[in-house]
Structure 1
Amino acid sequence: MKILSREQIYKGDKLTAERQNISSTDLMERAGMQIFNWLHLRMQGAQVPVHVFCGIGNNGGDGLVIARHLTTHGYHVKTYVVNYSDKRSKDFLINYERIKQTTKDWPILLDAESELPAIAKEDIIIDAVFGIGLNRPAANWVKTLFQHFRASKAFTLAVDIPSGLYTDKVPEDEQGVVWAGHTLSFQSPKLIFFLPDTAKYTAQWEVLDIGIDLEYLYHLNTQANLIGKHEVLTWYKPREKFSHKGSFGHALIVGGSYGKIGAVSLASHAALASGAGLVTAYVPKCGYIPLQTALPEVMVITDDKEEYLSNITFNITPTVIGLGMGMGVHETSTKALEAFLQQNNTPLVIDADAINILAAQQDLLALLPEQTILTPHPKELERLVGPWQDDFDKLKKVSELSKKYNLIVVVKGANTITVYHENYYVNSTGNPGLATAGTGDVLTGVITGIMAQGYDPLISAIFGIYLHGKSADLQVEDYAYQSMVASHIIEGLGAAYLDLFRQPEQPEQETNEGQQ
């Protein structure tokens, strides 16, 4: 799913009005009706007080449309205009006149001198104060109003975006932002729904189709895209009847040190379970017996040293190499990695301590093959790109690194984002059960295993992240967040693949039996 920028949303609105021969007021009516329909379906006429807070721009106009339709359908509605400026948008004024013609209970004007309206915990708040065009912090009295919303503990529904949020930066003061229980976003989700600094402002979100011109959306290139089943399924390569293990590549997993052979074991197992035809592990001698015992399907090559890597050389020709998990940053291992990178031309997926070594010796980044995939956890990422002010600054720094060295960088989080140059691919799967030791090693193995099968590096990263998270989503039903361990993710990869082809369950057909 494409994640549109503010400018692309504005352009889409304008083109839609032109191509469909409708006014911007008609488009606003359509958007407001969609939210009313969403509410009406769930409320079914319930007489819960609904407080609709409208700004004086187009977001406020949407709120007035919602309030008008709620009123004409008999709901208990209280409408407020948050008068934060002397300027009003044309469509706001049109809908202000329409609601005055609909009900004798005209909207209540709120300003800095107004008392805060009474809101009970059982009430509903609809936030339509600020839209995506916000470019400065709210006035103090508006912040107080937003804090009043939160203190009421009433269910808060945000129209398009929680008021006080920007589309392209983190707000300076969280007290100046509406904390929504649910956000109904028009046509496209907003990038801020997926970033740790800003996702907290809406517990849930949902996209409503308001009929933006399909041709415009189809040809639109967006900086950010949300990756779900439908996107991933288009990349899936079915297997031929006469294929064999050589058809699906040879993955080499390099890493490990005394006490950390488990990291290589997890990554190697994950590479096999994600579909690699052959997997070989390259480890210090101390890893030979553990790996041969735990994973009979995996071949093992050992280093000359017993406890850590010292000389990464092998007589096989791997399709792709997953590198770094559990290897440590011993001086000998660091030199071994440097020597390896100087002569290597094989595609790489780099994780863990190998990233720490690259962060400490950034001249080594120039030795990486093009489109090498880096899979750092947050602290490793910080070592690599330096500290950041907020999530937007983090993405900017990662983008600059990606462009400079032509790398693919995985920014891990609740919504893991794959960064390639200026493009962001936001993953939609995964859950807190992944917050456990070894899941990063599994992810590196999955990406390596997918890449071994001939997938493009960027697609390998995005596809692997999706499957890894989907496995966690399926496995959590049996293990819960607290009891999930990394090996459970490997066990669930088969189910994650099968889920790509599983149709959503249809609700049971209602019958009229016994009612005739």
Structure 2
Amino acid sequence: MKIFSKEQIYEGDRLTEERQKISSVELMERAGEQIFNWMHLRMQGAPVPIHIFCGIGNNGGDGLVLARHLILHGYHVKTYIVGYSNKRSDDFLAHYERLKGVTKSWPEPIENSNDFPEIDEKDIIVDAIFGIGLNRPVTDWVKELFVYFRKTKAFTLSIDVPSGLFVDKPVADENDVVWAGFTLSFASPKLVFFLPETAKYTAQWEVLDIGLDPNYLISTETEAELISKVEVVPNYIPRDRFSHKGDFGHALVIGGSYGKIGAVTLTSKATLTTGAGLVTAYIPKCGYIPLQASFPEAMVITDRDEEKIIDIQFDIDPTVIGLGIGLGTHDDTIKALEAFLKTNKKPLVIDADGINILAKKKTLLKLLPENSILTPHPKELERLIGTWTDDFDKLSKVKAFTKKHKLIVIIKGAFSITVFNDKLYVNTTGNPGLATAGSGDVLTGIVLGLLSQGYHPTSAAIFGTYLHGKSADLAVLQCGFESLTASHVIEYIGDAFIDLFKQPEQPVEPETNTEAEKEKEANPEKQK
């Protein structure tokens, strides 16, 4: 799913009006009616007080349309106009007049904190105050209104975006924003729904189709895309009946040090479980018996050092190489890695101490093959690109980094983001259970396994991140968030593949009457 910028959404509105020969007032009517349909389907006329807070721009106009339809369908509605300015948009005024035509109870003005209405915890608040066009902090009394919403504990539904939330820059104060229980977003979700600093402002979201021009939506290239099953299934490469292990590559995993052989084991297992034909682990001597005993499917090559890697030498010809897992950052290890990178031409997936070494000695970045994949967690990323002021600054710096060095970076997090050049691919799978030791090692293995089979590096990163999260989502159904381990994630990689092509369950049809029951219904007199 594409994530459109606010400028692209404005252009989509304009083209829709032009091509469908409708006015902006009619498009607003369409948007408000879709919000009503969403609410009406779920509420079914429930006698719950609904408080609709409308701004004086187009977002407020959407709220007025919603209020009119709810009133016409018998809902208990109170509408308020949040007068943060003397200006009213033309579309807002048009729908204000339409609302006046269906109710004797005109919207109540709110112009300061003394005007706040009484709201019960069991009521519903609809936030239609500010939309995506907001470009300045809210005034103090409006901020107090947002805080008041939270204090009431009433369910809050925001239209398009939570009011006060910028879609293209950070928020200075969390009290400047409505904290929504649900957001109904037009055309596409907003990128801020998935960033660590701003995702908290909407607990859930859903996209409403308001009929924007389909040709525009299809043809417009966006900076960001949301990745779900629909987006990854076309990347899947099916296997030929007559294929053999040599067709799926030989992955080499370089890593490990004394006390950290488990990391290499997890990565190697995940690589093979994801579909690599062969896996070899290159580790220090201390890890030989533990790895061979715990993962017999892997082949093992040992360094000449007992506890760390100091000289990367092997006589195999791997298809792809993963490195850095549990590697350590000893001076001898850094020298060995530098010597290896100077001669290596194979595709790389780099994690953990591999990234830390690159951060320590940034000249090594020039030695990485084009489209190498880096999988840093936030602290490793900070060491690599430096500190950032906010999430937007972070994304900007990562994009610049990937373009400069021709690399792919997976920013690990609740919504992991794959960055390649100017594109952001936001993953939708995964859960808090992944906040556990070794889950990053498994991600490296999954991506490496896909790369080994011939997936393009960008596809391997995007698809691998999806599978990693989906495996965890399936595993957590059995073990819960707290008990999820990295090994559980590996166990469910196969289920994640199967789920790609699993059809949604069909609703169960009610049982039909028996012939005797049909006869009884057809001839009631006969039964007497």
Same fold (TM over 0.5): yes
The structure that has the greater radius of gyration is 2
Map of 1:358 onto structure 2: 358
Map of 2:330 onto structure 1: 330
- SS for the counterpart of 1:130 is coil
More displaced stretch, 109-118 vs 99-108: 109-118
Map of 1:270 onto structure 2: 270
Asked if structure 1 preserves the Cα contact closer than 8 Å seen for 2:3 and 2:188, the reply is yes
Q: Cα offset for 1:114?
A: 3.9
- State the number of aligned residues: 516
Deviations 1:406-462 (A, max 9, x none): 110111110000011111000010000101000000000100000000000011000
Q: Cα offset for 1:509?
A: 3.4
Q: Cα offset for 1:313?
A: 1.5
Map of 2:127 onto structure 1: 127
Structure 1 residues 288 and 81, CA, compared in 2 at 3 Å: closer, same or farther?
same
Q: Cα offset for 1:507?
A: 2.8
Deviations 1:10-42 (A, max 9, x none): 001111111111111111111111110111111
Q: Cα offset for 1:511?
A: 7.1
Deviations 1:234-289 (A, max 9, x none): 01011001110000011100000011000000000000000001111000111111
Map of 2:69 onto structure 1: 69
What CA distance in whole angstroms lies between the structure 1 residues aligned with 2:407 and 2:113?
A: 55
Map of 1:430 onto structure 2: 430
What CA distance in whole angstroms lies between the structure 1 residues aligned with 2:334 and 2:204?
A: 45
Map of 1:306 onto structure 2: 306
Q: Cα offset for 1:112?
A: 2.4
What CA distance in whole angstroms lies between the structure 2 residues aligned with 1:510 and 1:14?
A: 47
Are 2:159 and 1:159 aligned? yes
More displaced stretch, 431-440 vs 17-26: 17-26
Map of 2:421 onto structure 1: 421
Map of 1:380 onto structure 2: 380
What CA distance in whole angstroms lies between the structure 2 residues aligned with 1:20 and 1:114?
A: 44
Structure 1 residues 93 and 510, CA, compared in 2 at 3 Å: closer, same or farther?
farther
Map of 2:3 onto structure 1: 3
Matches within 5 A, 1:409-488: 409-488=409-488
What CA distance in whole angstroms lies between the structure 1 residues aligned with 2:113 and 2:234?
A: 57
Q: Cα offset for 1:113?
A: 6.1
1:289 aligned partner, one-letter code: I
Map of 1:504 onto structure 2: 504
Map of 1:393 onto structure 2: 393
Map of 1:225 onto structure 2: 225
What CA distance in whole angstroms lies between the structure 2 residues aligned with 1:506 and 1:166?
A: 40
What CA distance in whole angstroms lies between the structure 1 residues aligned with 2:167 and 2:422?
A: 17
Are 2:402 and 1:402 aligned? yes
Are 2:83 and 1:87 aligned? no
Q: Cα offset for 1:169?
A: 0.9
What CA distance in whole angstroms lies between the structure 1 residues aligned with 2:362 and 2:92?
A: 54
What CA distance in whole angstroms lies between the structure 1 residues aligned with 2:305 and 2:133?
A: 61
More displaced stretch, 268-277 vs 381-390: 381-390
Segments of structure 1 that go 5 or more residues without pairing to the other structure are: none
Map of 1:216 onto structure 2: 216
What CA distance in whole angstroms lies between the structure 1 residues aligned with 2:363 and 2:254?
A: 21
- SS for the counterpart of 2:101 is helix
Q: Cα offset for 1:508?
A: 2.8
Are 2:240 and 1:249 aligned? no
Structure 1 residues 51 and 489, CA, compared in 2 at 3 Å: closer, same or farther?
same
Map of 1:143 onto structure 2: 143
Q: Cα offset for 1:397?
A: 1.0
Map of 1:12 onto structure 2: 12
What CA distance in whole angstroms lies between the structure 1 residues aligned with 2:21 and 2:108?
A: 34
Asked if structure 1 preserves the Cα contact closer than 8 Å seen for 2:258 and 2:287, the reply is yes
Are 2:22 and 1:22 aligned? yes
Map of 2:240 onto structure 1: 240
- SS for the counterpart of 1:225 is strand
Map of 2:189 onto structure 1: 189
What CA distance in whole angstroms lies between the structure 1 residues aligned with 2:395 and 2:308?
A: 34
Q: Cα offset for 1:87?
A: 1.4
Deviations 1:158-186 (A, max 9, x none): 00100000111111111110000000111
Map of 2:526 onto structure 1: none
What CA distance in whole angstroms lies between the structure 2 residues aligned with 1:231 and 1:205?
A: 19
Q: Cα offset for 1:510?
A: 5.3
Segments of structure 2 that go 5 or more residues without pairing to the other structure are: 522-528
- SS for the counterpart of 1:9 is helix
Map of 1:294 onto structure 2: 294
- SS for the counterpart of 1:189 is coil
What CA distance in whole angstroms lies between the structure 2 residues aligned with 1:226 and 1:445?
A: 23
Q: Identity percentage over the alignment?
A: 65
What CA distance in whole angstroms lies between the structure 1 residues aligned with 2:251 and 2:300?
A: 12
1:70 aligned partner, one-letter code: L
Asked if structure 1 preserves the Cα contact closer than 8 Å seen for 2:113 and 2:144, the reply is no
Instruction: Report the TM-score when normalising by structure 2.
Output: 0.96
- SS for the counterpart of 2:474 is helix
- SS for the counterpart of 1:490 is helix
Q: Cα offset for 1:290?
A: 1.1
Deviations 1:374-424 (A, max 9, x none): 001111111111111111111111111111101101111100000111110
Map of 2:524 onto structure 1: none
- SS for the counterpart of 1:81 is strand
- SS for the counterpart of 1:349 is strand
- SS for the counterpart of 1:251 is strand
What CA distance in whole angstroms lies between the structure 2 residues aligned with 1:220 and 1:273?
A: 37
RMSD of the alignment, in Å? Answer: 1.2
What CA distance in whole angstroms lies between the structure 1 residues aligned with 2:424 and 2:44?
A: 40
